[in-house]
Amino acid sequence: MKLFRPAPSQKRLPRTWRAVFLILGVAASTLVVAQSAQDIAQQPPTNPNLGPAFATKNAAYVPVMFDEIPGWDSEDFNALYTNFSTNCRAMRRRSAWAPLCARLAKLPRSDEALKQFMDDEFYAYQMLTPTRSEAGKLTGYFEPLISGSLTRQGAYRYPVYGTPSDMYQIDSRTVVGQPTRWLKRSDDGRLVGAETGEAGAVQYRIALEGGAPNPRDKRYRVRIDGGTIRPYYARQEIDAKGINAPVLAWVADPYKLYSMQIQGSGKIQLKDGGLIRLAYAEQNGHPFMPQATRGDSDAMLLAIKARGLDEPLEVEIPGGTRGVKKPGSNAGVDAEVARIIAALQGGGTASTTSIASTSSAKPKNKRPAATTQRPRARVNETDVEAMIQLLLTAPVADETYTAPQDTDVASIIDSTVPASTTSKPASTEKTARLDVSAFQGSGNSKPAGTASGAGVPVPSTGIPDPSFVFFRRIGDGPEGPIGALGVPLSAGRSMAVDPRATPLGAPVFIEGLQPGTDTPMRRLMFAQDTGGAIRGSVRGDFFWGFGDKAGKMALATNQTVRMWLMLPKAVAGSAAASGIKTRGSASLRDCAVPDDELCVED
């Protein structure tokens, strides 16, 4: 059923607006982009179902009607109530979302009701890149399971750190351009500006070369070195010296740990029994810089994420060769990891020759060895369909679920995916009874039963990326890990985004392909997470859930995507009104929706 049926002249209007945007933007400078966006936004509205157009430094937002979005009328809105309600746990604290969330709680459970709710409360925008392209990129991530120990023993010698007690945050606006600054420590782990002679204030020298403020909160992560403020330790320094931070667990494989840092969460199956679950707590303030050679960036990310898997994964090699797939091993993936890691450590070019040698078959018309293309993870098409069906029909949480505590890793992985995913569960309306506040404590507190990592160097990992992720322990259960929005992620409905271009908490409709197939994948998602590698306007990282099955889907997700952003009408009006700071100026705002918590404006 159509949401509304506008007159023919009205229905053509959004396409006209899009054409104006695309034509103006093909070769336009930022000045022209700013002027055109403002001129369009200032035109009197001719259709109340369309929001005002606007632009930022990172994206352009072109208003469309809901029924213009491909696949909108085919979406199962009835299955989205729980996801919307979970999203509202965080967003109802915001004035523009509070009445919207209150109305949602009273809606009848019907497809038609939620569709009408979207029409009444939101405007839809097609997202474009700064160069006015509608094509973006969709990747995938998952929650891995790796083995570990609560004590340092045998091969378990790589620490999983909680947030360091000597790491502070400081607003970039407090110190930018200043060689010295009077500062004092606050109770929440921050350094704040102070006046000369103020109680507790100290004058520090500011030396932040090599550090970078977080794009979301615009704060540096720093340490105090005598009388100097410096960026917090890089990965190599952390490995070499150890840090003053709780150790949540010890693992044997540093690359699996690095994979878990890339994913932002994970579970650790303990050597002596039991399972602990970890969520992202903080990051050391250094930019994500894997230093891959040109052309190898995607292949490097694929290889690192693949280390989080325990089951073999088939890898397609450029030219048609595939890595050898041996029972109980990751030969193809391990070869790819080894190739890339060797290139990263040696600073050389990662060619395709070493991984191609893992197969005895010599393909016809083999491409030159110097050609570097991202190896593509392959998954069985029946597995793809089963996983898609699972995401479409499975409830977000099962209140009868009991977290496994045994050492049978395979059973833990399989417990998240039913043997048959073709039938719909008896109820899809269960709501997780989860106290999110219990998971949002200060990362600076030292968990019970953990040891400090101070002065505990570890064997060199050789990982060149200076960024480093710290974790916090959370309760285990059927809910997904806690994302950047502060609510549990839902497999198949949650997505990591660049919060500057895609506001956290916003619904986002995506159009791409199901991994490894030519079948369209069109569905409404929620922007509930972020990631160091997720940067750009039409950019998303699709959360597939927990375990190897989800991991295989995540590794196979690397495709072109189109995205449509839904903004509450009050938010859209505010965004457009302040989207361009000065008429005739190229000064564009950084955040689509500025927010003191979710996206701090410069």
> What is the average pLDDT across 18-34?
40
Q: How far apart are CA 436 and CA 261, in angstroms?
A: 22
The tokens for 186 are 């606050």
Q: Give tens-digit pLDDT for 554-571.
A: 888 989 999 999 999 989
Closest by Cα among 562, 507, 565 to 134: 562
Question: Where does residue 197 fall: left (phi above 0), alpha (psi -120 to 50 degrees), or beta otherwise?
Answer: left
184 secondary structure, DSSP code? E
Give the residue with greater pLDDT, 145 vs 436.
145
pLDDT given for residue 298 in this prediction: 60
Ordered by start, the domain boundaries in the chain are 168-231
Strands 494-496 and 520-529, sheet pairing: parallel
Compare 48 and 105 and report the one with higher pLDDT.
105
What backbone phi and psi angles, to 5 degrees, belong to 549? -60, -45
Determine the Cα–Cα distance for residues 68 and 70; give it in Å rounded to an integer. Answer: 6
**Could you read off the pLDDT of 279-297 as tens digits, one per residue?**
999 999 998 877 544 445 5
* Percent of the chain at pLDDT exceeding 90: 44
**Is 162:279 a contact under the CB 8 Å cutoff?**
no
Instruction: Count Cα neighbours of 87 within 13 Å in the Cβ-side half-sphere.
Output: 25
Q: What is the mean pLDDT of residues 475-491?
A: 90
End-to-end CA distance of the chain: 43
Question: Could you tell me the CA-to-CA distances from 588 to 32, 60, 132, 505, 599 in Å, in that order?
Answer: 11, 11, 15, 22, 15
Please give the pLDDT value at position 317. Answer: 34
Residue 114 CA to residue 108 CA, distance in Å, equals 8
Distance, CA of 542 to chain centre: 8
Strand-pair category, 265-270 with 275-283: antiparallel
Q: How many CA atoms lie within 13 A of 587 on its CB side?
A: 8
Do residues 315 and 336 lie in contact, with contact meaning Cβ atoms separated by under 8 Å? yes
User: Distance between CA atoms of 161 and 159, rounded to whole angstroms?
Assistant: 6
Contact 244, 232 (CB under 8 A): no
Residue 57 CA to residue 500 CA, distance in Å, equals: 9
Predicted confidence band of residue 46 (pLDDT cuts 50, 70, 90): low
Structure confidence at residue 344 (pLDDT) = 45
Distance CA 359, CA 370 (A): 18
186 near 444, Cβ under 8 Å? no
Q: Token pair for residue 16?
A: 């006209």
pLDDT at 453 (0 to 100): 65
Dihedral sign from CA coordinates of 234, 238, 239, 240: positive
Buried b (16+ CB within 10 A) or exposed e, 202-241: eebebebeebebbbbbbbbbbbbeeeebbbbbbbbebbee
Percent with pLDDT over 70 in the chain: 63
Q: Which residues on neighbouring strands pair with residue 521, listed in sequence order?
A: 512
Query: What is the model's pLDDT at position 509?
Result: 98
* 467-471 average pLDDT score: 94
- Reference 276, options 246, 312, 301; nearest CA is 246
Per-residue pLDDT of 309-318, as tens digits, reads: 765 444 443 3
> What local confidence, expressed as pLDDT, does residue 457 receive?
72
* pLDDT band of 442, cuts 50, 70, 90: very low
User: Counting runs of H as helices and runs of E as strands, what totals does the chain give?
Assistant: 15, 24
Residue 399 in contact with residue 259, Cβ under 8 Å? Answer: no
The bridge status of strand 539-546 relative to strand 136-143 is parallel
pLDDT at 228: 96
Q: What is the mean pLDDT of residues 58-80?
A: 93
What are the start-end ranges of the H helices in 107-164? 111-121
**Across all residues in the chain, what is the average pLDDT?**
73
CA distance 485 to 502: 12
User: How confident is the model at residue 299, as a pLDDT?
Assistant: 62
**Structure-block tokens of residue 259:** 């994979």
Under DSSP, the state recorded for 522 is E
The helix/strand/coil state of 228 is: strand
